[in-house]
Amino acid sequence: MSNTIYKNYFFDEPAYDYHDGGYVPLEDADAPAKPLGVPPLLKADKETPTDVYYTITAQAGETQLLPGAKTKTWGYNTSLLSPTIHFEDGKHYHITLKNELPELTTFHWHGLNVSGPIVDGGCHAPVYPGESKQIDFTLNQPAAMVWLHAHPCPSTAEQVWHGLAGIVYVTDAHEASLDLPREYGVDDIPLVLQDRRFHENNQWDYRADYDPDGVAGPTAMINGTINPYFDVTTTKVRLRLLDGANRREWRLHFSDDREFVQVAGDGSLLPEPVHFTHLMLTCAERAQIVVDFSDCKPGDEVTLLTDDKKVVTFRIHEFKRVNGPVPEHLLDIKAPTVDPGTPVRRIVMSGMDESVAIDGKKFKMDRIDAEQPVGQAQYWDVVNANDKPGMVHPFHCHGTQFLVVSRDGKAPYPNEHGYKDTVGVNPGETVRLLVRFDLPGVYMYHCHIIEHEDGGMMAQIETYVPGKPRPKYDLMTMDKLMKALSEERGIPEDQLWMAGMDSYKKMGMKM
């Protein structure tokens, strides 16, 4: 294990989001400190040694976020965000998806290696108001923290902003054998990092806040809690971090510049732990870190910050348990072999505001942009064509976990050696990925600044089994979506407002 302690954020500083003209700086919330809301674990409807049954309901509600009026919010099985869902490698899952919202939604399993487009839950898997649908799959992937969020293009950003996002823990026998903090809610804590702007009577107004380069608000919201604190009762705490914001990057460090250890990224443990004092997450990225508080005494407080603003305050109490050291080796990564004759796929993310595109085109729901055989490993060169300083574009691909091979021909960042599904790409940079799909289907790949994907910086790939007939997929179209939303909202189609459609209209294009 390397003794190096990394003290910088790696990414190109001139491209950080705070340089953007539309940047919204965080402000201290005018709210009393509250205990961090740790989502309860979702209870299974039924469970056998091999099969697990869940019901997940998208619903509207109200949540007490600030003093005064409750905020109208959406969530899964609750008023905001969701209970934590647990999946175990090797088990078969049967999930009932229910929609109790006033309009269609989808249930996207971000980071799960499941078949697309229906089980994956992108824009081609709508669940209409009052409707229930069934999906099932056998889980086959390493332990990780992935997440669930709505993905109804081009309203993904607005529905996530309403609150449709939740944590998923994937566990396996190997990870369970390691000496890592794992008592949920005590020394194993998920942190969903988001931000919001509160308008009159503590309400959110997505349309008023809309920015085609990403919506942000001045108030940090962690697990749906404003100004949270957490009571520490163990010497080490494992924080499972998700950048669940539409646009904001999180540049994380502790108030005392405390060292911490990253043990996992998006889709797996890292091969070896990596030591940090500063860590940056781009949109949709995850990191699991272990923080050692053993040098603290009862009454001490240590605050996790982003830049100079509070995220969570950790209040130290008497330690009820002393955790062991982080293992020096965590996971063997077995990279698939690429046949030397396999062409390199080149994917170019370009534009800002309404001009965003992939490979010079905006997303079209019923167009297949690329193909790849199941089981074939390929190199993908993902390019951020924005001139410097530009923006960091977080690139995400559905239905797979890839390996980061290089950045402009050089080694990836030290914490990018595990499996990932989202990677930040600096302006002018080319990131080479090693990509293999294990299941046939149709999958989207896109920038995960959510307003960018809604605005057209998205494409889709069909994976197929060579030598076998390909299924005909019933792909959603914009006409079908518009008709459904018009009926659900009770207004003519020409009066519908969906943020992503502005980008198409201003470019004289149709999704």
Among 430, 434, 432, 422, which Cα is nearest to 396's?
A: 422
How confident is the model at residue 485, as a pLDDT?
85
CB contact at 8 A, 306 and 17: no
> What residue ranges of the chain have pLDDT lower than 50?
none
CA–CA dist 458, 412 (Å, integer)? 24
Give the Å distances, CA to CA, from 74 to 35, 177, 306, 322, 373. Answer: 21, 37, 26, 39, 38
Of the candidates 112, 99, 120, 180, the residue with the CA atom closest to the CA atom of residue 140: 112
* Residue 117 preceded by cis peptide, ω within 30: yes
pLDDT of residue 219: 98
Q: How far is CA 276 from CA 191, 201, 250, in A?
A: 18, 41, 15
Integer Cα distance of 44 and 145 in angstroms: 18
Q: For residue 435, what are the β-bridge partners?
A: 378
Question: Please, are residues 424 and 415 in contact by the beta-carbon 8 Å criterion?
Answer: no
Please give the backbone phi and psi of residue 314, each rounded to the nearest 5 degrees, phi first.
-100, 115
8 A C-beta contact, residue 329 and residue 439: no
Read off the pLDDT of residues 446-487 as tens digits, 9 standing for 90 and up.
Answer: 999 999 999 999 999 999 999 999 999 999 888 888 888 888
So what's the pLDDT on residue 511? Answer: 67
List the domains of the chain with CATH numbers: 5-26+182-321 (2.60.40.420), 38-176 (2.60.40.420), 345-464 (2.60.40.420)
Among candidate residues 194, 200, 160, the one with its CA nearest the CA of residue 73:
160
Res 2: pLDDT: 66
Question: Residue 208: how many CB atoms within 10 A of its CB?
Answer: 9
The predicted structure's pLDDT at residue 404: 98
Neighbours of 367 (CB within 10 A): 11
Q: Mapping DSSP to helix (H, G, I), strand (E, B) and coil, where does residue 209 land?
A: helix
The reported pLDDT for the residue numbered 281 is: 98
Contacts of range 299-302, beta carbons closer than 8 Å, 24 or more positions apart: 302/254, 302/255, 302/256, 302/258
- Condensed to tens digits (0 to 9), the pLDDT of residues 373-417 reads 999 999 999 999 998 889 999 999 999 999 999 999 999 999 999
Query: Is 434:284 a contact under the CB 8 Å cutoff?
Result: no
Output the pLDDT for position 53: 98
Local structure of 57: helix, strand or coil: strand
pTM: 0.96
Q: What pLDDT does residue 62 have?
A: 98
